[in-house]
């Protein structure tokens, strides 16, 4: 069977491609921007990639123009009507489906699906859960919207019934406006949190709550729901109806006693009973909460909590989640995916707990659709207040002026060019500083540009040995 994937270089669709290839299918695909790291993963798997949307990619030159080469076209949710390749699929009557539907029909049947949903923390929590199962010898399959460093790839089939999936509430495809996660039918589901996001898809928070309710309708009575007891929107979702046991993250359920203020060590409790200790390289209270949810999910799959806690000491944070990209001259440069005020505030709070009095330079690209629409303009300033200096990038086409944010902060500046931004940071950062770069995109290569400039600065200031 030959499938062709339109929009293959997104983390989810790229994961679908890797899984299909592992199933023994012939896989090809195309995207507007074919670039690493996903393009590298796909090329290593022997998957042919085509740049752009020329309809010719769908047809074999050995066949007549009317006969499709692929048996099935899998269409990513980033594609809309008017896309030339998509229009060719419809005009020629080619068989097509969505990524979530393909996953459900070809891989998830008869699997124990563990789904991680929520506005924040899905990638990290799903990575933790997959790693705990792996460390316990359960060899799970997974599809995660990032690259878990414990595995080095974003998706695999696995060797047991267990399959961990990052369950996104974004819409499924141009022809299916339900959230992706309604396709997965999980037995174990984690609801990390719920806030308003994806303003390009959902008109209000109530619309998102309704989709989460639809997810809970698919969880069987012998399954498990894991959810915080202090999230008002999650509480509303649960009150809409559930038919499955619930374990809460909170004082009466799963909770933690911090042993280090930065969250790098804590004791795990379920009710009043101690379950184990976690000592790891991650930081922040949000990651402690993520860990509790992962431990609870793994316990439902049969992993003892003591073992799960110990497994997390060997857990590596996924790429682009407080990933240290380099340290030059005592200046540490981080890359983080945070793009919502709550996630930004949590990330900064965790870094502050570890950095102490050291300076933190927060650098943000407002790239998500919700951010670009200005939905968070009033909450973005307070979310960045923990930083000593805030540097904002104003990209072309942003629907609002970032000066609205700088007025609520004492030390904030706006830049309209990546080169100028990199030069400013390299010129003002000093030893001991922490530079936290936040974007859900590549940020125009800012990390590499900054590290290059810092390296040049270091070379100029390093004394040369006497001849």
pLDDT > 80? residue 121: yes
Question: Which helix (H) or strand (E) covers residue 405, if one does?
Answer: helix 403-406
Instruction: Compute, in degrees rounded to 10, the torsion defined by CA atoms 248, 250, 251, 253.
Output: 20
pLDDT > 80? residue 411: no
Domain 110-312 has CATH 3.40.1190.10: yes
Which of the four pLDDT bands, split at 50, 70 and 90, describes residue 463? low
pLDDT > 80? residue 280: yes
- Average pLDDT for the chain: 89
- 323-461 CATH fold: 3.90.190
CATH class of the domain comprising 2-100: alpha beta
pLDDT of residue 35: 66
- Over residues 269-294, mean pLDDT: 93
pLDDT > 60? residue 68: no
- Residues pairing with 276 in the sheet: 268
pLDDT of residue 336: 86
User: What is the reported pTM?
Assistant: 0.83
Least confident span in 50-59, 132-141, 393-402: 393-402
Domain boundaries defined on the chain: 2-100, 110-312, 323-461
Classify 430 as helix, strand or coil.
coil
User: 189-205: per-residue pLDDT in tens?
Assistant: 999 999 887 777 888 99
Residue 103's nearest CA partner among 162, 58, 165 is 165
pLDDT of residue 236: 97
The 10 Å Cβ neighbour count of residue 124 is 28
Packing angle, helices 418-428 and 446-461, rounded to 10: 40
Which of the four pLDDT bands, split at 50, 70 and 90, describes residue 273? very high
pLDDT > 50? residue 62: no
pLDDT > 80? residue 461: no
pLDDT > 90? residue 320: no
- Over residues 141-158, mean pLDDT: 90
pLDDT > 60? residue 423: yes
pLDDT > 90? residue 315: yes
pLDDT of residue 64: 41
Q: Which of 192-196, 220-224, 414-418, 424-428 has the highest mean pLDDT?
A: 220-224
How many helices and strands (H and E) does the chain possess?
15, 23
Alpha-carbon span 287 to 260, nearest angstrom: 13
Alpha-carbon span 141 to 151, nearest angstrom: 11
pLDDT of residue 462: 60
pLDDT of residue 77: 92
């Amino acid at each position: 069977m030959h499938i062709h994937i339109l929009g293959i270089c997104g983390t989810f669709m790229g994961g679908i491609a890797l899984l299909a290839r592992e199933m023994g299918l012939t896989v090809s695909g195309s995207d507007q921007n074919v670039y690493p790291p996903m393009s590298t993963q796909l090329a290593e798997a022997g998957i042919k990639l085509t740049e752009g949307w020329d309809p010719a990619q769908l047809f074999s030159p050995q066949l007549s123009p009317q006969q499709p080469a692929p048996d099935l076209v899998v269409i990513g949710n980033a594609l809309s009507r008017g896309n030339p390749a998509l229009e060719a699929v419809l005009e020629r009557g080619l068989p097509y489906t969505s990524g979530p539907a393909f996953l459900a029909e070809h891989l998830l049947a008869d699997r124990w699906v563990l789904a991680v949903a929520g506005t924040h923390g899905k990638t990290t929590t799903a990575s933790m859960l997959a790693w705990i199962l792996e460390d316990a010898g359960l060899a799970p399959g997974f599809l995660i919207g990032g690259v878990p460093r414990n595995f080095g790839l974003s998706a695999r089939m696995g060797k047991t019934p267990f399959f961990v999936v990052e369950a996104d509430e974004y819409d499924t495809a141009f022809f299916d406006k339900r959230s992706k996660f309604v396709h997965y039918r999980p037995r174990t589901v984690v609801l990390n949190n719920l806030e308003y996001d994806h303003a390009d898809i959902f008109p209000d928070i109530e619309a998102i709550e309704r989709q989460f309710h639809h997810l809970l309708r698919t969880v069987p009575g012998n399954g498990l729901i894991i959810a915080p007891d202090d999230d008002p929107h999650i509480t509303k979702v649960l009150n809409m109806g559930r038919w499955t046991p619930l374990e809460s993250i909170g004082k009466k359920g799963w909770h933690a006693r911090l042993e280090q203020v930065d969250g790098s060590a804590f004791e795990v409790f379920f009710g009043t009973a101690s379950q184990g200790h976690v000592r790891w390289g991650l930081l922040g209270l949000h990651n402690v909460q993520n860990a509790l949810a992962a431990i609870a999910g793994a316990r439902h799959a049969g992993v003892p909590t003591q073992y799960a806690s110990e497994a997390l000491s060997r857990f590596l944070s996924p790429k682009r989640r407080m990933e240290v990209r380099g340290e030059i001259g005592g200046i540490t440069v981080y890359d983080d995916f945070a793009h919502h005020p709550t996630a930004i505030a949590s990330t900064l709070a965790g870094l502050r707990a570890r950095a102490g009095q050291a300076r933190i330079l927060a650098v943000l690209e407002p790239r998500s659709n919700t951010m670009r629409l200005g939905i968070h303009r009033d909450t973005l300033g307070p979310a960045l207040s923990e930083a000593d200096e805030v540097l904002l990038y104003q990209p072309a086409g942003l629907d609002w002026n970032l000066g609205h944010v700088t007025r609520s902060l004492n030390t904030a500046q706006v830049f309209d060019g990546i080169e100028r931004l990199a030069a400013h940071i390299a010129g003002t950062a000093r030893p001991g500083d922490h530079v936290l770069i936040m974007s859900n995109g590549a940020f125009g290569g800012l990390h590499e540009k900054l590290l290059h400039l810092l390296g040049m600065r270091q070379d100029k200031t390093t004394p040369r040995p006497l001849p």
